[in-house]
């Protein structure tokens, strides 16, 4: 969906955005670092982050996101403590 992208005004008439398969992983990692991981770090300030993983299928996403948070922690001006834990829930409840 093109609404998921920041498209410059001179390209507003685009109908669709196609992402080649080989570039998808890089695009997702870029969004982790530039948006989600940085937003989390900014929102948490100096508070302890507790990352709780729930869904089995999202492990790669979870691991990549935590990797970006760790990199920001190491390369940033401040370091925020991060604790990771895993929980299981029944899908029928």
pLDDT of amino acid 46: 86
Q: Which residue segments constitute the domains of the chain, with CATH numbers given?
A: 1-92 (3.40.50.2020)
Question: Cα–Cα distance between 69 and 45 in angstroms, integer?
Answer: 13
User: Which class for 49: exposed (0-12), middle (13-18), buried (19 or more C-beta within 10 A)?
Assistant: middle
pLDDT of amino acid 75: 85
pLDDT of amino acid 33: 66
Pick out the chain residues at pLDDT < 50.
none
pLDDT of amino acid 65: 86
């Amino acid at each position: 969906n093109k609404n998921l992208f920041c498209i410059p005004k001179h390209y507003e008439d685009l109908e669709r955005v196609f992402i080649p398969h080989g570039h998808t992983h890089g695009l997702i990692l870029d969004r982790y670092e530039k948006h989600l991981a940085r937003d989390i770090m900014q929102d948490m300030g100096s508070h302890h982050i507790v990352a709780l993983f729930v869904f089995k299928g999202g492990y790669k996403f979870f691991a990549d996101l935590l990797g970006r948070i760790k990199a920001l922690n190491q390369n940033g001006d401040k370091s925020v403590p991060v604790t990771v834990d895993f929980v299981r829930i029944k899908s029928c409840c």
